[in-house]
């Protein structure tokens, strides 16, 4: 496995890799890898001849009050896991390499509407930072395929829109959310949870399942009462709910029924740890 820490070295290794391997699949990450990331790597390896992974904690997607400085960084363990997973090349650039004139002064890519709802509303500028760094990494790596997880479903939809709008010749594939045995979606931020918070956290997924089942049982009924009751139950259990909303999948517009493909999105906090999850609901089910 080749490990490169700057974009100049990346270019030196990519050409012979592409000449030798053919198609390249790319998995961008911020490191602190868990089984969810490795499932995306496995999917990438099955889809292409070679796999490139990036590890970069992107300052442009963090607000000043968020956890950029404390975000877990476990590079040695990450590289060991990627080597065992059969990755061909890992890019570990610095912020200075990606943003020579600092991220604050860098041109940003903005995806309207999709990037302004849900987490985009609660974390202004977040998806501009995500889109900008993903676009830059796409330009550096030049993948044929890129794989993103459905746990961050809004992000996946935004990346697909950016790729389509900018006519990038990349096949964006989605990987299913990986969960702990108790249903909690795997996330690097789960390690922030205390023991008692970790015991409570699976209620988020349980609530999505229960709420989703109730919505699909009455697909033409207004969903407000069901969703409001679920929100209250989460708050009473100890969560601070940022949002629990039913959104149409292609536009992320709010819905008042489930007679079209949609998803129920949730973001909620336990102390300072913000957890997100979603459940997709197919029309007519």
0.85 exceeded by the pTM?
yes
User: Could you state, in order of their start, the residue ranges of all structural domains in the chain?
Assistant: 2-175, 188-281
Rounded to whole angstroms, the Cα distance separating 134 from 110 reads 12
H/E element, 236: helix 224-237
Would you say 30 and 60 are in contact if contact means Cβ atoms under 8 Å apart?
Answer: no
Instruction: Give the catalytic positions in this structure.
Output: 37
Q: What is the helix, strand, coil percentage profile of the chain, to 5? A: 45, 20, 35
| Topology (CATH level 3) of domain 188-281 | 3.30.1300
CA–CA separation, 191 and 73 (whole Å): 12
| Residues 146 and 170: beta-carbon distance below 8 Å | yes
Strands (E), 118-192: 145-149, 171-175
Q: What is the pLDDT of residue 283?
A: 77
Under 8 Å between Cβ of 186 and 257: no
Burial classification of residue 259, based on how many CB atoms lie within 10 Å of its CB (0-12 exposed, 13-18 middle, 19 or more buried): exposed
- CATH of the structural domain 2-175, one choice from 3.40.50.620, 3.90.1150.10, 3.30.465.10, 3.40.50.300: 3.40.50.620
DSSP state of 48: S
pLDDT by residue for the chain (285 residues), tens digit each?
999 998 888 989 999 998 888 899 999 999 999 999 999 999 999 999 999 999 999 999 998 889 899 899 999 999 999 999 999 999 999 999 999 999 999 999 999 999 999 999 999 999 999 999 999 999 999 999 999 999 999 999 999 999 999 999 999 999 999 999 999 999 999 999 999 999 999 999 999 999 999 999 987 788 999 999 999 999 999 999 999 999 999 899 999 888 889 999 999 999 999 999 999 998 765
Residue 63: Cβ within 10 Å count: 12
Asked if residue 151 lies in contact with residue 186, where contact means CB atoms within 8 angstroms, the answer is yes
Instruction: Enumerate long-range contacts of 60-65, CB under 8 Å, 24 or more apart.
Output: 60/99, 60/103, 60/106, 60/108, 60/128, 60/129, 60/132, 60/133, 61/125, 61/126, 61/127, 61/128, 61/129, 61/130, 61/133, 62/126, 62/129, 63/123, 63/124, 63/125, 63/126
């Amino acid at each position: 496995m080749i490990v490169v820490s700057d974009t100049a070295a990346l270019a030196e290794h990519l050409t012979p890799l592409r000449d030798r391997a053919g198609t390249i699949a790319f998995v961008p990450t911020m490191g602190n890898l868990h089984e969810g990331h490795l499932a995306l790597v496995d999917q990438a390896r099955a889809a292409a001849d070679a796999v490139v992974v990036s590890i970069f904690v992107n300052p442009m997607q963090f607000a000043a009050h968020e956890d950029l400085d404390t975000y877990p960084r476990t590079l040695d363990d990450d590289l060991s896991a990627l080597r065992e997973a059969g990755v061909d090349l890992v890019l570990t650039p610095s912020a200075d390499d990606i943003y020579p004139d600092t991220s604050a002064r860098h041109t940003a890519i903005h995806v309207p509407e999709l990037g302004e709802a849900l987490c985009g509303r609660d974390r202004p500028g977040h998806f501009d930072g995500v889109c900008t760094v993903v676009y830059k990494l796409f330009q550096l790596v030049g993948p044929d395929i890129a794989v993103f997880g459905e746990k961050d479903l809004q992000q996946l939809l935004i990346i697909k829109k950016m790729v389509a709008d900018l006519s990038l010749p990349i096949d964006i594939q989605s990987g299913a959310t990986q969960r702990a045995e108790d249903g909690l979606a795997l996330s690097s931020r789960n390690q922030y949870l205390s023991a008692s918070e970790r015991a409570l956290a699976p209620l988020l997924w349980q609530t999505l399942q229960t709420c989703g089942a109730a919505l699909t049982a009455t697909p033409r009924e207004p969903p407000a009462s069901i969703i409001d009751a679920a929100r209250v139950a989460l708050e009473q259990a100890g969560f601070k709910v940022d949002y629990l909303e039913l959104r149409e999948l292609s536009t992320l517009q709010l819905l008042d029924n489930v007679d079209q493909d949609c998803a129920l999105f949730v973001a909620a906090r336990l102390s300072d740890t913000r957890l997100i999850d979603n459940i997709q609901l197919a029309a007519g089910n």
